[in-house]
Amino acid sequence: MPATVRVGLVGFGLAGSAFHAPLIATTPGMRLDAVVTASPERRAQLHREHPGARAVDTPEQLLATPLDLVVIASPNRTHVPLARAALDAGRPVVVDKPLAATAAEATALTDLAEQRGLLLTVFQNRRWDNDFLTARRLISTGALGTVHRFESRFERWRPQIKTGWRELPDPAEVGGTMYDLGSHLVDQALTLFGPAATVYAEIDTVRPGAAVDDDSFIALTHTSGVRSHLWMSATAALLGPRLRVLGDRAGYVKHGLDPQEADLRAGRRPGDGSPWGVEPETAYGTLGTTDSAHPVPTEPGDYPAFYRGVAAALRDGTPPPVDPRDAVAALAVLEAARRSSATRTTVDIPRA
């Protein structure tokens, strides 16, 4: 790798413009070099926010330029073909989640990267949410004792159906809240507690006229014995706690979302002079029992850690920040969840 990694970004919608581009541009040793977008409005935004980056019309044009890394932040249906094209062109690849529509497609892509000796990783940025990092610390230090249940929610109140591919029923689009939000929730649960043995799911479509799932629940039993209860919804008029982790010594409850997404969407950037990923004491979660509980400081969120990890993997050969086999495991869970909901049964999850 050269001293500065030249990055090509496919897609400059929400994921590309609010997450990937600013995180790449503020990562030491990386430079946002070229972006695929044909939209005049998005090109103008690109030139305002990243004046050193070039706009190109197509992924083919991007791959024809000298680049050290390709980042795919385009609609879900394009993830596999674009990642395959980049790997075939000899480029390391970052893919936004979900990596693929199925575990089989994700496995084939991971195998291709290994055969080519190229980095492939998945943008599971929620591993660096402040609440997740705090829960992980409390679990690892034994503050909760032996954990027996993990509850996690990504709930929104968005009753109106928006236009766009996320609302299309074609399975190739990989739309709906289960793959959008559930990809994060399942990944977090597997990261904390290891493989899941069984899944029970209720996958619903609540909004009138909606064509994709918008209110779902997944219950996992991990091989470790921990149970994870996961909610993902666009129809939650009142929001539940973001996390509740219960152990035999104490519990941890956290409300509210990590501030990093809102800050990125508002135009704030890591390293702009103010603390990054830090929330006020009033937003701290609670640790303890019904007899004795107290606020516990929240770990700072750290989305920049993902691209720091990518840069280190390219430069030093260290493991990628997210193993693509983790994405395969999460997709196997989501596929089993669909079978569970359709059959109204608990389903065994195949082991890789």
CA distance 43 to 335: 37
- Percentages helix, strand, coil for the chain (3-state, rounded to 5) are 40, 25, 40
- Dihedral sign for Cα 194, 125, 70, 317, please: negative
Identify the pLDDT of residue 102: 96
pLDDT band at 274 (very low <50, low <70, confident <90, very high): confident
* Residue 212 dihedral angles phi and psi, to the nearest 5°: -130, 165
State the CATH architecture for 126-302+332-348.
Answer: 2-Layer Sandwich (3.30)
pLDDT reading at 350 higher than 90 = no
CB 219 within 8 A of CB 201: yes
Q: Compute φ and ψ for 280, nearest 5 degrees.
A: -70, 160
pTM of structure: 0.95
Q: For 41-65, what is the HEC assignment?
A: HHHHHHHHHCCCCEEECCHHHHHCC
167 Cβ partners below 8 Å, 6+ apart? 161, 175, 210, 211, 212
- Which token pair is 249? 């010594």
pLDDT for 3 equals 83
Copy the structure tokens of residue 105: 């497609």
Query: Rounded to whole angstroms, how far apart are CA atoms 58 and 92?
Result: 18
Structure tokens at 220: 């996992």
Does the pLDDT of residue 82 top 70, yes or no? yes
Residue type, 99: L
Instruction: Give pLDDT, residue 47.
Output: 96
Q: Is the pLDDT of residue 352 over 70?
A: no
Pick the CATH number of 5-125+306-317 from 3.40.50.2000, 3.40.50.720, 1.10.1270.20, 3.30.930.10: 3.40.50.720
How crowded is the C-beta side of 258, counted as CA atoms within 13 Å?
25
pLDDT recorded at residue 163: 83
Q: How far apart are CA 62 and CA 64, in angstroms?
A: 5
Q: What is the pLDDT of residue 66?
A: 93
Average pLDDT, the chain: 96
126-153: pLDDT as tens digits: 999 999 999 999 999 999 999 999 999 9
Q: For 151-204, what is each residue's pLDDT tens digit? A: 999 999 999 998 888 888 888 889 999 999 999 999 999 999 999 999 999 999
Segment 77-93 shows an average pLDDT of 97
Residue 95 has pLDDT above 90, yes or no: yes
Domain with CATH 3.30.360.10 in the chain: 126-302+332-348
The amino acid at residue 51 is: P
